[in-house]
Amino acid sequence: MKYTTRRAIGLGLTGLTAFAAFFIVGMLALILWDVARHGARHISWAFLTEAPSDGMMGGGIFPAIFGTAALTLLMTLAVMPVGVLTAVYLHEYAPPESRFARWVRVAVVNLAGVPSIVFGLFGLGFFILFVGGNLDRLLGYQEMHWAQPGILWASLTLAVLTLPVVIVSTEEALRAVPLDQRTASLALGATQSQTLARVVLPGALPGILTGAVLAISRGAGEVAPILFTGAAYFLPDLPTSLDSQFMHLGYHTYVMATQSPNVTEASGPLYATVLVLLALTFALNLVAVIIRTRTRRKAASAH
Amino acid sequence: MEQGLTQAVAAPRLSAAARRRQLREKAVAGFITLMAFTGIAALILIIVFVAKEALALFTDAEARHEASLSKMFLAQEGRYPFRWQPVSGTPKVSMIPLFVGTLKITVVSMLVAVPLGVFGALFVAEFAPRRLRELLKPVIELLAGIPSVVLGFFALMVLSPVVKNLFHLDRPLNGTLAGLALALAIVPVIFTVSEDALTAVPRSYREASLALGATLWETAWKVVLPAAAPGILAACVLGFGRAIGETMIVLMASGNADIVSWSLGDSARSLSATIAAEMGEVVVGSPHYALLFFIGVELFIFTFVLNMIASTWTKKVLQRLTGSAS
Residues B103, B152, single domain; the answer is yes
B264 belongs to a structural domain: yes
Residues B93, B127, single domain; the answer is yes
B1 belongs to a structural domain: no
- The Cα–Cα gap between B173 and B155 comes to 9
Residues B42, B109, single domain; the answer is no
The listed range with the strongest mean pLDDT (A261-265, B14-18, B41-45) is B41-45
B64 belongs to a structural domain: no
Tally of CB atoms within 10 A around B111:
13
Question: Model confidence at B92, in pLDDT bands (50, 70, 90)?
Answer: confident
pLDDT digits (tens, 9 = 90+) for A60-83: 888 999 999 999 999 999 999 999
Question: Model confidence at B10, in pLDDT bands (50, 70, 90)?
Answer: low
Q: Which of B34, B59, B84 is the last residue of a domain?
A: B59
Give the model's pLDDT for residue B263: 78
Inspect the interface and report whether the beta carbons of B123 and A277 lie closer than 8 Å: no
A157 inside 8 A of chain B by CB: no
Among A72-81, B11-20, B38-47, B210-219, the minimum mean pLDDT is found in: B11-20
B281 belongs to a structural domain: yes
Residues B126, B253, single domain; the answer is yes
Residues B189, B215, single domain; the answer is yes
1-30 in chain A: CB under 8 A from chain B: 6-7, 9-10, 13-14, 16-21, 23-25, 27-28, 30
Give the model's pLDDT for residue A273: 93
User: What value does the mean pLDDT of chain B take?
Assistant: 88
Residues B46, B83, single domain; the answer is no
Question: Model confidence at A19, in pLDDT bands (50, 70, 90)?
Answer: very high
A190 inside 8 A of chain B by CB: no
Residues B55, B152, single domain; the answer is no
Give the model's pLDDT for residue B1: 45
B67 belongs to a structural domain: no
Residues B176, B266, single domain; the answer is yes
Question: Model confidence at B297, in pLDDT bands (50, 70, 90)?
Answer: very high
Nearest C-alpha neighbor of B35 from the set A190, A125, A114, A163: A163
Cα–Cα distances in angstroms (integers) from residue A6 to residues A96, A278, B205, B211, B214, in the given order:
48, 45, 20, 16, 10
B10 belongs to a structural domain: no
pLDDT digits (tens, 9 = 90+) for B16-33: 888 888 899 999 999 999
Among A175-184, A255-264, B122-131, the minimum mean pLDDT is found in: A255-264
pLDDT digits (tens, 9 = 90+) for B176-186: 999 999 999 99
B11 belongs to a structural domain: no
For an interface test with B, give the residue of A17, A131, A213 to mutate (most B CBs within 10 A).
Answer: A17
Residues B206, B168, single domain; the answer is yes
Q: Which one has a higher pLDDT value, A70 or B2?
A: A70
B1 inside 8 A of chain A by CB: yes
Range of the domain at B268: 73-322
For an interface test with A, give the residue of B48, B123, B272, B315 to mutate (most A CBs within 10 A).
Answer: B123
In the predicted structure, residue B3 carries a pLDDT above the cut 70: no
Q: Confirm whether pTM is higher than 0.95.
A: no
φ, ψ dihedrals at B101, nearest 5°: -60, -45
pLDDT digits (tens, 9 = 90+) for B224-278: 999 999 999 999 999 999 999 999 999 999 888 887 877 787 888 999 999 999 9
In the predicted structure, residue B159 carries a pLDDT above the cut 80: yes
List, in order of start, the domains of chain A with CATH numbers: 41-302 (1.10.3720.10)
pLDDT digits (tens, 9 = 90+) for A143-182: 888 888 999 999 999 999 999 999 999 999 999 899 999 9
B165 inside 8 A of chain A by CB: no
The average pLDDT across A245-262 equals 87
Task: Assess contact for B177 and B151: CB atoms under 8 A.
Answer: no
Give percent of chain B with pLDDT exceeding 70. 95
Give the model's pLDDT for residue B304: 93
B139 belongs to a structural domain: yes
DSSP output for A106-162: HHHHHHHHS-HHHHHHHIIIIIIIIIIHHHHHHHT-SS-SSSS--HHHHHHHHHHHH
Residues B212, B131, single domain; the answer is yes
Task: Read off the CATH number of the domain in which B199 is found.
Answer: 1.10.3720.10
Residues B148, B48, single domain; the answer is no
In the predicted structure, residue B53 carries a pLDDT above the cut 80: yes
φ, ψ dihedrals at A148, nearest 5°: -145, 165
Residues B51, B137, single domain; the answer is no
Q: Say how many domains are in chain B.
A: 2
